[in-house]
Structure 1
C-alpha cells in the first residue's frame, strides 16, 4: 500500500480505518486483494442501498454500454433521460401525489444542495438560510455554510455567511418548547435574524450522530415555514431512496417540502447522480443559469430506472426495511443494556442506526475491532462518538444477525481492554 502513502493526498480518510486494498464486491460483502471478505455495514455511506453490483441493475447497464449508447450529454435530451423521468414520475412522484419539477444539478449530493440554496435565494430575493445544530449538507462553500461541524467549517478557509443555525429536535433535551427561539426571533424585527429564504433540514442527521426528528417536530417545522412564508428544503441525500423505509424520509411526517435534495443511492449502483426536486412555480431558472459538465450522467439514468422498477414498483422493500430495522433495534438495545455504563443511547430509523458511546474514544475502537472481525462500520457525531450502522437495504436477516453479533463481540472486547 506504499503507493497510496506516496502519491495520494493526506486528506484520505476511510482507508485509514480499513487498512487493506479492496478488489471485488457483491451484495452485502466486499473482498480485499488477499481474499478476505468483509460484511459491509457502511454501504458507500448510503450510496449502495441495493448492495454492491446488484445483478438486476448491472445487466441493463452492461447492455446499455455495449450498445454504444450515449454516456455523456450535459443536459441534452437522450432516450435514457426520458425513460428515467417517465418512470420516476410514474413510480415515485405520482403515487405520492407529489408535483415536482426535476433538475439535474451535477453528480453529487452537495451539487443538489447548492442548487437548492441558490434557487431558494433567487426565488425569494432573500439571502439567509436557516439550518440546524449538527447538520451536515456537504463540503462545498454553500453547503458548508449550513453545516454544523466546526472542523469541516474551518476547512473552508473563508468566512461562511448567510446561514443561521437553530436547535434541532430535542437538542435542548425538552427544556424549551419546539421552535420557541426560532418563532420568537422571526416575530421580532430587532432579533438580528433577517427573514430567511429557506430552512434546510435532514429528517435524520446521519453525519451529525443519527439524530432522529420526530414526525411531530417535522410537521411543526413545516407549519412554521408556511406561516412565515419560508421555503422548506429537505436534504434527503443520505436518508432518501428508502433508507428510513419509505422512498422519501419525510413521508412518515406527512409533509410536502418545497424543495428536495436526492443523491447517493438514486443511481442504485454507486454511479454519481443527483437531482433537485422543486415545486413547479419555484422553477424560475434562466436556461444555463445553473449548470455543470456532468449533470445527467446517462449510465446512472439506466441503473436508476432499473432500481425503480426492481425495488419500488410495489411496497415490498419498504416493509422489509422496517422489519429489518426492528431486528437491528432489538439487538442494539440488548447490547446497550449489557453495557449500560458505556452506552448512552440507541438511535435510528429504518436501516440507519447508531450506538452512542459515553466516551467518544470508544466508538472508533469498536469500529476498528469490528474491522478485525470482518465488519465495516464508520463513526459519526460531532466527536465521532456514535458507532453508525448503514447496511444495504437488501441485507438478509442472517447477514444482519452476523453483523450484530460482531458488534456485540467488538463492544465486549474493547470494554474489556479498556478496563484491564
Structure 2
C-alpha cells in the first residue's frame, strides 16, 4: 500500500481511528470469512466486525433477501411505525427464539447500536425501581455513551467522557481474585448492611463473557448465584449480550448455559444478520412501564436490518445445527490454544467459550506482536484485555473447518516466532 493510497485517511480522518492502524491496508470487498484489499490480497477474518458478522460477510442467503427487498421498494426508514418487515421479524424472533426457550419478553427497538440498547436498559431499570445506582463489574465494557461508559471498567475509555461518571459501583467479576475470595461474600454483606454506605442499586449489569475485557468467562454457577442474589434483594439483572449473543458462545443467548432468566437483555451487533445496524432491548413483560416516546431514536426502525435479521433467524435458528457446530469449532480452537499453552507454559494461557477464544500472554506486548505477524500472513485478529494482553478470536460462526485450521496454523506459527 502506497502513501498516496492512504493520504486521504491521514489528512481528513480523525486520530481516533484504531483498527486501521493495526491493519494498514485498504479493503475493497468481502465474502464469507474473507476480506480482499484493493491490491488483491486476501485476509482471513478472525474478527468478524467485532462480533457483528456472525454469519459472515455478504452471506448469500441474507444478501438475496436484502436485494429483493430493496428492489421491491421496501420501507427503509420507519422510526417505530408498523411495517411488514418489522412484523415478520417479530414473528420469527418469537417463534424461533423466545417461545422455544420459554421467554416472555417484550421487545424494544432502542436505536441501532449496542450502546443504545444499554442506555435504554439502564433508564428502564431506574424508572421501574425508582433507584439510581447500578452495579457493574471489573473489566466490563458496555459502550461509549455516557451511561454505558459509567458501567464500563476500562480507565482509558472512561477518561474520554471528560466528566465524572457516577451512579455506578464496580464489583469483582468471576475469578477476579483468582478464586481467593468467596463469590459475592462482600457484595451481599454490603447490600444487607445498613451501615455499609452502598445505595441499594436499581440493577446489576453483566456480560457472561467479557470480550473487550480480555475474554473473561463467568462460570454458570457464578451466574446462577448472581441471579439469585439479585432476585432475593429485588434488584434487576441485566445481561449485556451485545457481543456474546446471537450464537457467539453456542446457544443463541450466552446466559442459557447457566439456566437463568435475566430481567433485561441487550442485543445488537449480529442481531441484524448482515452487519446492518440494529439493536433490541428485551425485558420481562411486567417491566414495560415506558410512556410513549419516552425513549426513542430516529434510526430505531432500520427495516433492511429487520429483513436480514428475520432471514438469519429462519435460516440458522430453526434447529440447533449452528449451535452444535459453534461448540465443535470452539473446541477445535481451544485444543490448539491448549497445545500452545503447554508448549509455552508460564508464557501463554487460554480461556474462552464457543467461538470467542482468547490466547493470554504474560508479556502483554507479545499479543500485539502475534497479531502483527498474523496480519502479515493474511489473518485479522485483535487484542483485548486491560493491557491488550489477549489475542481474541471472533471468527464468523459460518467459518469452514478448513478456514479455521488455516487461521490456527498462522496463529501457531506467529506464537512460535514470538515466544521461542
1:355 to 359, 365, 380: 359
User: 3-state SS of the aligned residue for 1:250?
Assistant: helix
1:301 to 273, 282, 306: 306
Q: CA separation in 1, counterparts of 2:78 and 2:301?
A: 7
Displacement after TM superposition at 1:341 (Å): 3.6
The superposition leaves residues 151-203 of structure 1 with CA deviations (integer Å, 9 ceiling, x where unpaired) of: 00001000000000001001011111100111000011111110000000000
2-structure distance, mates of 1:81, 1:268:
14
User: Is the counterpart of residue 31 in structure 1 residue 59 in structure 2?
Assistant: no
Is 1:181 the counterpart of 2:186? The answer is yes
**Aligned residue number for residue 402 of structure 1:** 406
The aligned counterpart of 1:388 is 392
Superposed displacement of residue 337, structure 1: 1.4
**1:62 aligned to which of 63, 67, 90:** 67
Q: Distance in 1 between matches of 2:341 and 2:37?
A: 32
Pairs aligned (count): 415
Q: What 5-or-longer segments of structure 1 have no aligned partner?
A: none
Matching residue of 2:218:
213
For residues 196 and 211 of structure 1, what CA distance do their matches in structure 2 show? 24
**Structure 2 equivalent of residue 366 of structure 1:** 370
- The secondary structure found in structure 2 opposite 1:50 is coil
Cα deviation digits, residues 303-327 of structure 1 (max 9, x gap): 0000001100011000000011111
Name the SS for the 1:175 alignment partner.
coil
Cα distance between partner residues in 2 of 1:272 and 1:366: 31
- Residue 336 of structure 1: how far off its partner (Å): 1.4
**Cα distance in 2, alignment partners of residues 2 and 192 from structure 1:** 55
SS of match in other structure, 1:173: coil
Alignment of 1:131-280 (within 5 A): 131-280=136-285
Report the aligned-residue RMSD: 0.6
SS in 2 for 1:329: helix
What is the alpha-carbon distance in structure 2 between the residues aligned to residue 341 and residue 263 of structure 1? 37
In 2, the alpha carbon distance for the partners of 1:77 and 1:208 equals 38
1:202-244 Cα offsets, whole Å, 9 max, x none, are 0000000000000000000000000110000000000000000
CA distance, structure 2, for counterparts of residue 396 and residue 23 of structure 1: 22
Show the counterpart of 1:376.
380
Matched, 1:117 2:126: no
Q: Does 1:44 align with 2:49?
A: yes
Per-residue deviation, 1:415:
2.9
Distance in 2 between residues matched to 1:247 and 1:6, nearest whole Å = 42
For residues 102 and 74 of structure 2, the distance between their equivalents in structure 1, rounded to whole angstroms, comes to 33
- Could you list the per-position Cα deviations for residues 236-295 of structure 1 after superposition, in whole angstroms to 9, with x for gaps in the alignment? 000000000000000010000000000000011000000000101101000000000000
TM-score (norm: length of structure 1): 0.98
What's the CA shift string for 1:64-116, capped at 9, x where partnerless?
Answer: 00011100010011000000001100010001000000000000000000000
